[in-house]
Amino acid sequence: MRRPALALAAFALPAATIAQAPRCVTQDQAAALVTFALPSLVQGLAQRCAPALPRNAYLLANAQALADRYRPDADAAWPLARRTIAGFFGQLLGQPMPAEMDSDVLRMLAEPLVGKLLTRQVSLADCAIVDAAVAQVAPLPGRNVGRLAAMAATIADRKDKGIAGVLHICRPEPR
């Protein structure tokens, strides 16, 4: 149990430490991380935004159902999300992630941690926009929501500081 905690501690490192990492993740890796975290992300957004939204807000009324619906896509995204997390581990700690950390325990710990990392970037002043955005993407499969979120984050990251000062997404090459 000590090693999964060590890997998760890498996610808890100060943003300045993580931001020193020169590597960026691909669009596919970023989409996998977001898709993997969608169930926790949706529930975390509902919890964070509850004080700022009316009781009948879409997000508040539908967070649990959306989290349940996104879970199969989150499951499918886990292998690539896990490899991406392993890359962070190796980059931050200078050694490969131990094989025994490829476990359900790591997954159970990583999903809420990644969701929380993304959720805490939302200001209460933006909750009405988040509610409207969630309502608009709700009909889409989780994998599409993850891909759209990764693209939007890439566009929004004009200062190249990454998402939460941690996740730098590589800009795709023009086709």
pLDDT one-digit tens code per residue, 5-19: 444 444 444 444 444
Q: How many residues does the chain have?
A: 175
Sorting pLDDT into bands at 50, 70 and 90, what band is 160?
low
pLDDT > 90? residue 85:
no
First to last CA, the chain: 45
The pLDDT of residue 52 is: 96
145 with 38: CB under 8 angstroms?
Answer: yes
CB atoms within 10 A of CB 163: 21
pLDDT > 60? residue 3:
no
The pLDDT of residue 24 is: 81
CA gyration radius, the chain: 16
The pLDDT of residue 122 is: 87
Residue with the bigger pLDDT between 82 and 159: it is 82
Residue with the bigger pLDDT between 97 and 64: it is 64
72 with 141: CB under 8 angstroms?
Answer: no
The pLDDT of residue 166 is: 61
Amino acid at 156: A
pLDDT > 90? residue 70:
yes
The pLDDT of residue 113 is: 80
Average pLDDT over residues 52-71: 97
Residues 6+ away with beta carbon under 8 Å from 106: 4, 7, 8, 82, 85
Residue with the bigger pLDDT between 42 and 166: it is 42
The rounded percent of the chain whose pLDDT value lies above 90 is 44
Q: Any idea what the Cα angle at residue 132 is, between residues 57 and 112, rounded to 5°?
A: 80
85 with 167: CB under 8 angstroms?
Answer: no
Question: What confidence tens digit (pLDDT) does each residue in 96-143 have?
Answer: 777 766 667 777 877 778 778 778 888 999 999 999 999 999 999 999
